[in-house]
Amino acid sequence: MALLLGALLMITACSGGGASSGGAGGSGGGSGAPDDGSAEATVSTAVLAITPEDGSDNVATDELKVSVRDGELTSVEVTDAEGNEVEGELSEDGATWQPVNRLANGTEYHVTATAEDAAGLEAAQTATFTTVTAADTFIGFFTPEDGSTVGVGMPVSINFNREITNQADVEQHITVTAEPEVEIAPHWFSSTRLDFRPEEYWEPGTKVTLSLRLSGVEGAEGIYGTQSKDVSFTIGRSQISTVDAEAHTMVVERDGEVLREIPISAGSPETPTYNGIMVISEKHEVTRMNGDTVGFGGEYDIPDVPYAMRLSTSGTFVHGNYWSSSDTFGSANVSHGCVGLEARQGGGGNTPAQWFYEESLLGDVLIVKNSDDVTIAPDNGLNGWNMPWDEWVAGSAL
Mean pLDDT across the chain, nearest whole number?
89
At residue 3, the pLDDT reads: 39
Query: Is the model's pLDDT at 12 over the cut of 70?
Result: no
At residue 299, the pLDDT reads: 61
Query: Is the model's pLDDT at 370 over the cut of 50?
Result: yes
- Does CATH number 3.50.50.60 belong to domain 47-130? no
239-386: CATH number: 2.40.440.10
**Residue pLDDT, tens place only, 189-208:** 999 999 999 999 999 999 99
Query: Reduced to 3 DSSP states, what percent helix, strand and coil does the chain have, rounded to the nearest 5?
Result: 15, 40, 45
Residue 10 forms beta bridges with which residues? Answer: none
Contacts of 92 (CB under 8 A, 6+ apart): none
The domains of the chain are located at 47-130, 136-236, 239-386
> Would you identify the CATH topology of the domain 136-236?
Immunoglobulin-like (2.60.40)
Question: Between 294 and 65, where is the model more confident?
Answer: 65
Among the ranges given (69-78, 99-108, 149-158, 358-367), the one the predictor scored with the smallest mean pLDDT:
99-108
232-254 average pLDDT score: 98
Question: Between 324 and 349, where is the model more confident?
Answer: 324
Query: Is the model's pLDDT at 188 over the cut of 90?
Result: yes
What is d(CA 111, CA 67) in angstroms, rounded to the nearest whole number?
12
Are the folds of 47-130 and 136-236 the same? yes
**Residue pLDDT, tens place only, 18-62:** 333 333 333 334 434 444 444 566 899 999 999 999 999 999 999
At residue 40, the pLDDT reads: 60
- Its pTM stands at 0.77
Question: Between 12 and 187, where is the model more confident?
Answer: 187
Active site residue ranges: 319, 338
| Percent of the chain at pLDDT exceeding 90 | 80
Query: Is the model's pLDDT at 296 over the cut of 80?
Result: no
Tell me if the bond preceding 144 is cis, omega within 30° of 0: yes
Nearest alpha-carbon partner for 130 in 103, 154, 152? 103
What is d(CA 34, CA 19) in angstroms, rounded to the nearest whole number?
9
Nearest alpha-carbon partner for 382 in 307, 298, 309? 309
Among the ranges given (12-16, 248-252, 326-330), the one the predictor scored with the smallest mean pLDDT:
12-16
At residue 10, the pLDDT reads: 37
At residue 302, the pLDDT reads: 80
